[in-house]
Amino acid sequence: MLYMVALAAGIVLVGILLVHRQVRRNGRWALWWHDRVDENIRDFLTRISRPERILAYVKKHAVPGDAESVANAIDAYCSGVEWAMNIGIDKGKILDRVVSETDPDTVLELGTYCGYSTVRIGKLLRPEARLITIEMNPDYAKVAKQIIALAGLDSKVEILVGSSSELIPQLKKKLDIKTLDLVFIDHWKECYLPDTRCLEESGLLHKGTVLLADNVVCPGAPEYVKYIRNSSRYRSEYFSSRLEYLQVEDGLEKSVFLG
């Protein structure tokens, strides 16, 4: 009997070690663990959502009006306590560089989540620049609104709640936007290509508009990458990095619209 219990405990332990190893090394396993298992357990234990837990931490640790401290607080929470799908520290630096180099008047972000990348982009924009960010989940948008306000960026950022495919065609008329200088693409990966086509068809891109797409390796956006790298309408470049807060390869694709 004792032998059977020891054997069962050994099998469970080996199973846990194997899962742990896979979660550390394999992007798909990591996303499955952090998004499906860990998040649900914490939601059950805390009775609030992951974005609400991030917001509570930011309220406690960031300096109101200091965008850098807001981004740093989110990074501290997501590196040390609980993973979340923000662009993160390493890829965030690439995003910062592209924003600074582009120095845009009008930016569109697809996928706000808690507003982490919104804050990173917003703090680098000139005072008169506009940042429009689209989020389809109203609960995430509610949290993002508070995080953006805490960062002191609410006058620069407009959050649109709804699906990108419905909102992109309305941008010109509803928000009086002529064209976009920078588009940060970071929503569900299967939307990257249809929404890029929608941006083209809506006449929102001009010669020189920069598209920056996150997660082109993990979880990956193969249809988008195939299109953007093979189209004569874009000059495209890949920036290798790591998946947010983990040691797994991921990267950003920067593509300049050539008209």
Active site residues: 186, 189, 214-215, 244
- 188 sits near ligand SAM (criterion: CB under 6 A): yes
Q: Select the residue whose beta carbon is closest to ligand SAM and give its number.
A: 111
**Smallest distance from the beta carbon of 133 to ligand SAM, in angstroms?**
8
- 224 sits near ligand SAM (criterion: CB under 6 A): no
Tokens of 70: 């807001």
55, 58, 62, 87: residue in contact with ligand SAM (rule CB under 6 A):
87
**Smallest distance from the beta carbon of 192 to ligand SAM, in angstroms?**
10
Q: What is the DSSP string of the chain?
A: -HHHHHHHHHHHHHHHHHHHHHHHH-HHHHHHIIIIIIHHHHHHHHSS-HHHHHHHHHHHHSPTT-HHHHHHHHHHHHHHT----S-HHHHHHHHHHHHHHH--SEEEEE--TTSHHHHHHHTTS-TT-EEEEEES-HHHHHHHHHHHHHTT-TTTEEEEES-HHHHGGGHHHHH----EEEEEE-S-GGGHHHHHHHHHHTT-EEEEEEEEES-IIIII-HHHHHHHHH-TTEEEEEEEEE-TTSSSEEEEEEEEE--
- 137 sits near ligand SAM (criterion: CB under 6 A): yes
- 134 sits near ligand SAM (criterion: CB under 6 A): yes
Stretch of 21-29, 32-40, 108-116, 174-182 contacting ligand SAM, by CB under 6 A: 108-116
- 111 sits near ligand SAM (criterion: CB under 6 A): yes
- 85 sits near ligand SAM (criterion: CB under 6 A): yes
Determine contact, residues 24/247, Cβ cutoff 8 Å: yes
Decide whether 36 or 235 has the Cβ nearer to ligand SAM.
36
Stretch of 26-34, 56-64, 131-139, 202-210 contacting ligand SAM, by CB under 6 A: 131-139
Helix axis angle, 67-80 to 138-150, nearest 10° = 130
Stretch of 30-38, 84-92, 147-155, 231-239 contacting ligand SAM, by CB under 6 A: 84-92
**Smallest distance from the beta carbon of 187 to ligand SAM, in angstroms?**
3
30, 73, 99, 136: residue in contact with ligand SAM (rule CB under 6 A):
136
The phi, psi pair for 157, rounded to 5°, reads: -110, 135
- 255 sits near ligand SAM (criterion: CB under 6 A): no
116, 224, 234, 257: residue in contact with ligand SAM (rule CB under 6 A):
116
- 253 sits near ligand SAM (criterion: CB under 6 A): no
CA distance 200 to 6: 62
The binding site for ligand SAM (CB under 6 A) comprises 85-87, 111, 113, 116-117, 134-137, 140, 163-164, 186-188, 191
